[in-house]
Structure 1
Amino acid sequence: MAIHELKADVVILGGGSAGTIAAIKAKEKNPEAEVVVLDKGPIETSGAIGRGMDALNIMASPGYSTPEDVVEALTKVTEGILDQETAYVLGKNSIQVVKDLEDYTGREPGDLFPIDENGNYKTSYLHPVDHPLYLAMDGEDIKRALAKRVRNLGTTVLDFTPAVRLFTKKGRVSAILAFNIRTGKFYFIKTPTVILTAGAVGKFGLPRDGYLSGIYEFPGNTGEGFAMAYHAGAELINLECFQTNLLMKDFNGPACGYVVIPRGGYGVNAEGDRYWSHGYWSGDMFLAVWRELQEGRGPVFLKMDHLPEETVEGLEKVLWGTERTSRGLFHKARGENYRKWDSVEQGMEEITLCSGHSMSGIKVNKDTETTVPGLYAAGDCAAVPHQYLTGAFVFGSIAGEKAVEYAKKNPAPATDVDIKQVVAEIVAPLQRAEGLTVEEVEFKIRSRISQYLTPPKSDPLMKKLLWWIKRIRQEDIPRIKVDDYHDLIKVTEVKSILDCAEMAAKASLYRTESRWGLCHYRLSYPKRDKEWDDKWVVVRKNQQSGEMELHKEKVPAPRWRFHARLEYEYPSLHLDIGHGYEHPQNGVLDPWINEKVKREGMQTPKRIVPNGGAIA
């Protein structure tokens, strides 16, 4: 099988929001640099905003809010588990994101984003703080505009060509291996720098309807960024903090509370009562929804019937256009109407790992550097908590500039990997005469993630998931059979999901408390513990032993002292159900079955007991 060798200064893994802007900034910083973008699809429509976007969900806008206000909001929703420097950079650079997007799309101020009578970008309230940090956007065309700029700058774009291996030499980035999922053409790219912009672990838990790709996130986001960083030796943090998605029931897409709530909508329970004080996607709100379901007041709904007709029509334009075009058809087929209070049923359909909407990901500093030299990360796979699309653009920009600077001073280390052997291992599922389908194995692990990891978290269930992960790796992964290169990439995806599940389960068991509302509600430790204040759980792979290691690490000292907790308490569960009926005891010896064993010449098997011994 032919392997095409290339050399690059910067390779970007993922052509979504962070990846495309990283490529733009790298080429603008050094037009002579060879920048390569790899993606599973065409960069015009790939990633979480392939159809466009309707807002920058966190934004410091002069006249309305400051970078310090962004730090305050993120300090609160993370309950103090935050590197405030990254939050400050997010707020400080967010205004440049607005200017860049207007430039790339050719849109005037007031067209792409709303402005007030003073010419300031008009933000709205959404976060659980007294600052307006939400900036609406009419952004159906932004992804195509970004892709056009990337190509016009002379970037090498390999569409339909995802990365499958990240190589290091003496702890530094050295090369990338990728293949085209349509042609099977392999690329071995020697490079001193890689930017991971591969998105969230969108395919993690299984939605209740069972559809493998019917998820909130972009279906191509399956944790490769997390997994590649881990295997390269980079540190990951907050993997015990799950994004417990509150989605539109059965549609498995965003209910778009972030579109509706800043315009006056809110969540209600089945009795029509508002169930929580705010609609921000933080753990306290998810915990409030869980309570409604447990106490018999579910399902919950996104209420819009009280809004003016003009507002409802505007919401329909955004939700059925910019967000997902199939949504309007979904409502029409069900006879649902936003002018009825219970038309948008919401459900807690799945769990994912993400930094954009939550906290989990690759540990980075304010310059997007990971703990591996030459490796950078941005967007939903980089652990800048609650950064959303704004953070993807802010830190994608920084990553592009920093990586191209690093590449100019640091040539790629020589590689000694047997690339033909690596390729042979990757294509092995194509060579098998028979075996399991990759969809069967994906369903198996994802259904068990939902069963054993979904909060509230149970220690015995999480330990059982780890047992399943080991078994699936040993028994199922080696038996996967695929028929084409499109399905071959799914084998990599399943392996990434397994890696992320193991990291999430072990991190959840390591953090001996509950925190972030429902996101890490651990039944064995159902309260916050001050010993865990200001502490990360760090996950990394020991490069000598290959074992997963975890340790506790204090976050950088805060520059600002803001309120560091949300207004909620964990419930006290009292589940005494009384004493059940006890029938008289049977004997422990059964002559009938023993006689059959003797008659058939069978040897009575040993019975294993929990303490590890055996009883005949």
Structure 2
Amino acid sequence: MGVKQIDADVVIVGGGSAGTFAAIKAKTANPKARVVVMDKGPIETAGAIGRGMDALNVVAVPGYGTPEDVVEALTKVSEGILDQECAYTLGAEIYDRIKDLEEYTGREPGDLFPVDDNGNYKCNYLHPTEKALYLAMDGEEIKRALAREVRRQGCIVLDRTPAVRLFTTDGKVSGIFGFNIRTGEQYLIKTPTVVLTSGCVGKFGMPRDGYLSGIYEFPGNTGEGYAMAYHAGAELINLECFQTNLLMKDFNGPSCGYVVIPRGGCGVNALGDRYWTHGYWSGDMFLAVWREFAEGRGPIYLKLDHLPEETIQGLEKILWGTERTVRGQFHKQRDENYRRWDSVEQGLEEITLCSGHSMSGILINKNTETSVPGLYAAGDCAAVPHQYLPGAFVFGAIAGRMAAEYAAKNKAPKLEVDGMGVWKEIRKPLETAEPGVPVEMVEIKIRTKVSQYLTPPKSDPLMQKMLWWVDRMRREDVPQIKVCDYHDLIKATEVQSIIDCAEMAARASLFRTESRWGLSHYRMAYPKVDPKWDGKYVVVKKNMNTGEMEVSAKPVPAYKWNYPTRLEYEYPKFNLDIGPGFSHPPNDMHDPWISQKLGDEGLAVPKRMR
């Protein structure tokens, strides 16, 4: 079987929310462009909204919010570590994406999205601001509608064909390599542009239940976008800002506070008291959750019992019919009822790297351009803080348009790649001699280490130990990975991406000598916010000459709006003095019994064990 070679104008890596919009808008910008979409699965169900979505979490629509209001909210929750132009672009363009969604789904205003008495899209409050920026959505079939439009536009869709290598020539994008995880067919695609829309690092830490794919995010999101951008020489930022997921206990799906809180629900501790002022997924709220457990007031719950009966029934329909359809069965088997205050137990179950729900990812500008010519990024892998699903739609559309325009003016650089040589390297785990190490064991190992050594509050010695494990696993574990088919072969690539991301996260965390973003970067060695880090990114980049990982700081783009850059919280002060303890008399360091053993028999094995 030979490597199939394809010429393309635009290649989109990831067929999720941002990827489908990128494909549609690339074709709209240039109908003659050859647009290729690559994904690990069928694009109808790919990505974080493969089952559907129930809201757009940050929007600006007439009557409720303005683009400036979005800038204000994101400046505050990011504590000023952002490009305000990106935030403004998100607010300015989301209304057009809302109309696109209605067109692609064939749904009317008031059906897909609610409207008020004035005909405006009706928004609710969610963010720690006084602006209504949350728009509910009945979007169960939204992903299938986007996939249908991608295919109608005439894009080349390579389902079940993940990209695994990104190539550059003289610092510019020149090609990409992928293979089909069912048939093993390989593709070497020559292209001047690549759009990375491959999602967050959802598989990062190990979830508490221990299931490899039992995670909050789409299980296929394993950081390939982060890793490919890094190895291409792009800059990544905010990798020290972790998404510390507050999830439903024992159920690794959304706890759905975003659905409940805008309708009057709230978070309470085991005493039934509210533990924080708001329910937005920002670091201060996660820090408040951590405090409840540290001070003995856990578990915590999402409280719904005080809501009107019709609201509870509506929430049941949304929560059990969109995203995770087994959620209702989970509650039923546990005899849990939303009409009791303690039926939705929550916990800090896992950590991930993400820009949608947090801040970490590939550095882009408002045009989705990275620091590598021809390389664009959008969605959860592109660092637009707290952009959520609206950001995937907005910046996915921009990335598709910008890539198509770039490709129309720039031919692909010469691609001097031995396709069969690349494939031989990738397929090494298929050739590993028996017994080898099952890829699942290596994945368990790296993800367990991530949870053990990187979970906030962050310890400097633990993070240094994480780097020790990264080096050891690359030398000892990765070369021994053994797989039996193409489906598991992609898991070997995923493991290497997770290892790359673990190193980037640890080095970035050690570089930022302060605590910031609440629990997201709570560093015990520096347990306070340091003003010297205000307005500064931590940048991770590969030195393309030496191959070494470099970490540096640089200022965020100049602010255009003077909005608050702090949330209302403080880090706790610890007093962990536990007294002197008992001290026994010293032992003899020169133990004659040990000396006798060494002198008489050396290191000989005792007779009974021979």
Give TM class, smaller chain: over 0.9
Q: Aligned-pair RMSD on alpha carbons?
A: 0.8
Select between 230-239 and 422-431 the one with higher mean Cα deviation.
422-431
CA distance in 1, matches of 2:560, 2:381: 25
Superposed counterparts of 1:197-212, under 5 Å: 197-212=197-212
User: Given the alignment of the two structures, is residue 559 of structure 1 paired with residue 560 of structure 2, yes or no?
Assistant: yes
Equivalence for 1:258? 258
Superposed counterparts of 1:155-304, under 5 Å: 155-304=155-304
Q: Partner letter of residue 15 of structure 2? A: G
Superposed counterparts of 1:183-582, under 5 Å: 183-434=183-434, 435-582=436-583
Select between 384-393 and 409-418 the one with higher mean Cα deviation.
409-418
CA distance in 1, matches of 2:545, 2:209: 42
CA distance in 2, matches of 1:82, 1:428: 41
Q: Following TM superposition, by how much is the alpha carbon of 1:415 offset from its aligned partner in structure 2, in angstroms?
A: 1.6
Q: Partner letter of residue 191 of structure 2? A: T
After superposition, the C-alpha distances for 1:61-111 in whole angstroms (9 at most, x for unaligned) are 111110000000000000111100000000000101110000000001111
Q: Following TM superposition, by how much is the alpha carbon of 1:602 offset from its aligned partner in structure 2, in angstroms?
A: 4.9
Superposed counterparts of 1:24-173, under 5 Å: 24-173=24-173
Q: Partner letter of residue 167 of structure 2? A: F
Q: Partner letter of residue 316 of structure 1? A: E
SS at match of 2:200: coil
SS at match of 2:123: coil
CA distance in 1, matches of 2:14, 2:347: 30
Q: Partner letter of residue 442 of structure 2? A: V
CA distance in 1, matches of 2:524, 2:51: 40
Tell me the TM-score normalised to structure 2 length. Answer: 0.98
CA distance in 2, matches of 1:21, 1:601: 71
CA distance in 2, matches of 1:311, 1:151: 38
Among the aligned pairs, what percent are the same residue?
A: 73
Checking the alignment, whether the CA contact within 8 Å between 2:60 and 2:69 is kept in structure 1 is yes
CA distance in 1, matches of 2:478, 2:2: 25
Q: Following TM superposition, by how much is the alpha carbon of 1:184 offset from its aligned partner in structure 2, in angstroms?
A: 0.4
CA distance in 2, matches of 1:419, 1:526: 50
CA distance in 2, matches of 1:261, 1:493: 35
CA distance in 1, matches of 2:518, 2:331: 31
After superposition, the C-alpha distances for 1:500-546 in whole angstroms (9 at most, x for unaligned) are 00000000000000000000000000000000000000000000000
SS at match of 1:104: helix
Count of matched residue positions in the alignment of Structure 1 and Structure 2? 603
After superposition, the C-alpha distances for 1:569-611 in whole angstroms (9 at most, x for unaligned) are 00001100001111111111112211221222459xxxxxxxx
Q: Partner letter of residue 486 of structure 1? A: H
Q: Partner letter of residue 213 of structure 1? A: S
CA distance in 1, matches of 2:6, 2:66: 44
Checking the alignment, whether the CA contact within 8 Å between 2:437 and 2:477 is kept in structure 1 is yes
Equivalence for 1:613? none
CA distance in 2, matches of 1:95, 1:227: 32
Q: Partner letter of residue 459 of structure 2? A: S
Equivalence for 1:599? 600
CA distance in 2, matches of 1:431, 1:546: 27
CA distance in 2, matches of 1:417, 1:31: 29
CA distance in 1, matches of 2:445, 2:433: 22
Q: Following TM superposition, by how much is the alpha carbon of 1:322 offset from its aligned partner in structure 2, in angstroms?
A: 1.3
Unaligned runs of 5+ residues in structure 1 are: 604-616
After superposition, the C-alpha distances for 1:16-64 in whole angstroms (9 at most, x for unaligned) are 0000010000011111100000000000001000011101000001111
CA distance in 2, matches of 1:593, 1:114: 79
CA distance in 2, matches of 1:54, 1:97: 16
Select between 525-534 and 409-418 the one with higher mean Cα deviation.
409-418
Tell me the TM-score normalised to structure 1 length. Answer: 0.97
Q: Partner letter of residue 410 of structure 1? A: N
Checking the alignment, whether the CA contact within 8 Å between 2:2 and 2:420 is kept in structure 1 is no
Q: Partner letter of residue 456 of structure 2? A: P
CA distance in 2, matches of 1:553, 1:57: 29
After superposition, the C-alpha distances for 1:203-243 in whole angstroms (9 at most, x for unaligned) are 00001111110100000000000000000000000000000
After superposition, the C-alpha distances for 1:278-317 in whole angstroms (9 at most, x for unaligned) are 0000000000000000000000000000001100000001
Q: Following TM superposition, by how much is the alpha carbon of 1:118 offset from its aligned partner in structure 2, in angstroms?
A: 1.1
CA distance in 2, matches of 1:31, 1:527: 53
SS at match of 2:427: helix
SS at match of 1:323: coil
Equivalence for 1:611? none
CA distance in 2, matches of 1:545, 1:599: 53
CA distance in 1, matches of 2:95, 2:572: 41
SS at match of 2:228: helix
Q: Following TM superposition, by how much is the alpha carbon of 1:386 offset from its aligned partner in structure 2, in angstroms?
A: 0.3
Q: Following TM superposition, by how much is the alpha carbon of 1:433 offset from its aligned partner in structure 2, in angstroms?
A: 3.0
Equivalence for 1:17? 17
CA distance in 1, matches of 2:498, 2:391: 24
CA distance in 2, matches of 1:9, 1:600: 74
CA distance in 2, matches of 1:102, 1:208: 38
Equivalence for 2:608? none
CA distance in 2, matches of 1:439, 1:581: 45
CA distance in 2, matches of 1:493, 1:432: 17
Unaligned runs of 5+ residues in structure 2 are: 605-610
Q: Partner letter of residue 267 of structure 1? A: G
CA distance in 2, matches of 1:6, 1:545: 31
Q: Partner letter of residue 305 of structure 1? A: D
User: Which ranges of 4 or more aligned residues in structure 1 deviate by more than 6 Å?
Assistant: none
CA distance in 2, matches of 1:182, 1:460: 43
After superposition, the C-alpha distances for 1:132-151 in whole angstroms (9 at most, x for unaligned) are 00000000111000000000
Checking the alignment, whether the CA contact within 8 Å between 2:245 and 2:349 is kept in structure 1 is yes
CA distance in 1, matches of 2:486, 2:327: 31
Equivalence for 1:612? none
Q: Following TM superposition, by how much is the alpha carbon of 1:260 offset from its aligned partner in structure 2, in angstroms?
A: 0.2
CA distance in 1, matches of 2:336, 2:323: 18
Q: Following TM superposition, by how much is the alpha carbon of 1:323 offset from its aligned partner in structure 2, in angstroms?
A: 2.2
SS at match of 2:267: strand
